[in-house]
Amino acid sequence: MTDRQRRDARAGEALLAPALVTLAALAAWPGLWVLWLSLQQRIPIFGIDRFVGVAHYVFLAGDPRFWNAVRVTLTFTVVSVALEVLLGVAVALALQRQQRGRRVAVALLLLPWALPSVVVGRTFEWLYHPSAGLVNFLLGGRAVNWLGEPALALPALVAADVWRTMPFVALLCYARVLTIPDAVYEAAHVDGAGWLATVRAITLPLLRRVLLIAVLFRTLDALRAFDLMFVLTGGGPANTTETLTVYAYRSLFQTLQLGFGAAVGAIVFALVMLVAWAYLRAVERAEATA
């Protein structure tokens, strides 16, 4: 390494420092504090504040409510992200082939994504209304108990989440599709490839990287799912829609067990970090082979 390169490297580090310090202050410090808190039994309103080590984690390991929340969170994440990706890609491809009214279609597509989640929650509350809701009306007036039936409540929430966030995936994919030069498609056409073959051999491979990013964002969001459950079901019936974050919220803010709630929060944090790390590795590999 020459002197010049060394100087440049030092200058680079100096320029990075403010960003690193800010990140440390905003993310690492509160994160560490939550970890520390999760090792305490702290219920301030009752004057309880003592160090209990990993006792909360030990309790959680044998806590059926916790494992139920893990199962609900993972099911919700896998199913809703999968559906969002499938539908998002389909919508992007449809937009690409659409000749007229594309701008209107894109604007309409943005609408659900732009709505505040509490508004989405309230909207779906009415859609799923047992006696006056649109969904049951379209089903011929049957009183299907969408949010109060253990087998239906989670699928109903997944549907609401897919409606709200599929446009995010669709727009990312659509933006990528627009950058694929027409010449590539023309060449394929000359070679005699049909639409399906073109999609399989050209569009989808070129979408791979943007899809990995979309899946990363959506997965991290879905793992922290909270607002829809909170507005629509409160985690019920019988905790069938209680995600880890809802469990953490109930422990922290409703029953004020700060240490215990922090332990649940720390587990969500670890889960999110683990998934983010795995995805980033996958993205790196994709870059390397691209």
Partner 1 sequence: MALALLLALAGCARSGDERAPITLVFKHAKILGPADPVPGLLRQFEARHPGVRVKPESLSWNSDDQHQFFVINMEGRGAAFDVMMLDVVWVAEFARAGWLLDLRPWVSAEELAPHFPSTIEPATWNGGVWAMPWLMNVGMLYYRTDLLARHGLAAPRTWEELRAQVARIRAAERDARLDGVVWQGRQYEGLTVNALEAIWANGTRVLDDAGAPLPDPERAAGALAFLRSLITSGASPSWVTAADEELTRRHFGDGRAIFHRNWPYAMDLFQQAGSAVRGKVGIASLPGRAGVGDGVGSSGGAHLGVDRRTRHPELAAALVRFLAGAEAQKAMSVGGALNPTRMALYHDPDVVRAHPDFPAIYELMLRARPRPVTPYYLMLSTTLQPEFSAVLVGVKTPEAAVAQARRRLAYLLEGLR
The binding site for partner 1 (CB under 8 A) comprises: 41, 43-48, 65, 129-132, 143, 145-150, 153, 233-239, 242, 250, 253-257
Q: Cβ of residue 238: shortest distance to partner 1, in angstroms?
A: 4
Q: Which is nearer to partner 1, 12 or 44 (CB)?
A: 44
Write down the least CB distance from residue 80 to partner 1, Å: 20
CA distance 266 to 248: 9
Nearest residue (CB) to partner 1, 56 versus 218: 56
Pick 48 or 86: Cβ nearer partner 1: 48
Beta carbon of residue 17, minimum distance to partner 1 (angstroms, whole number)? 31
Q: Which of 210, 126, 110 is nearest to 160 (CA)?
A: 126
Closest separation in Å from C-beta 60 to partner 1 = 14
Contact present, 173 and 89 (Cβ < 8 Å): yes
CB of 44 to partner 1, least distance (A): 6
What pairing do the DSSP bridges indicate for beta strands 40-43 and 48-51?
Answer: antiparallel
| Helix, strand, coil percent content, the chain, rounded in steps of 5 | 75, 5, 20
Return the amino acid letter for 119.
V
Residue 99 or residue 254: which is nearer to partner 1 going by CB? 254
Q: To the nearest whole angstrom, how small is the minimum distance from the Cβ of residue 136 to partner 1?
A: 10
Give min distance, CB of 28 to partner 1, in A: 22
Cα three-residue angle 278-64-256, rounded to 5 degrees: 90
Q: Which is nearer to partner 1, 155 or 234 (CB)?
A: 234
What's the CA gap between 76 and 82, in Å, rounded?
Answer: 10
Question: Whole-number minimum distance, CB 73 to partner 1, in Å?
Answer: 16
What CA–CA distance (Å, rounded) separates 290 from 284?
10
Residues ≥6 apart with Cβ < 8 Å to 251 = 257, 260, 261, 264
Toward partner 1, which CB reaches closer, 61 or 107? 61
Cα–Cα distances in Å, from 15 out to 19, 21, 30, 73?
A: 8, 11, 24, 40
The answer to whether the CB of 223 falls within 8 A of the CB of 77 is yes
Q: Do residues 40 and 50 touch, judged by C-beta distance below 8 A? A: yes
User: Using CB atoms within 10 A of its CB, is residue 206 exposed (0-12), middle (13-18) or buried (19+)?
Assistant: middle
Choose between 131 and 289: whose C-beta lies nearer to partner 1: 131
Whose Cβ is closer to partner 1: residue 38's or residue 219's? 38
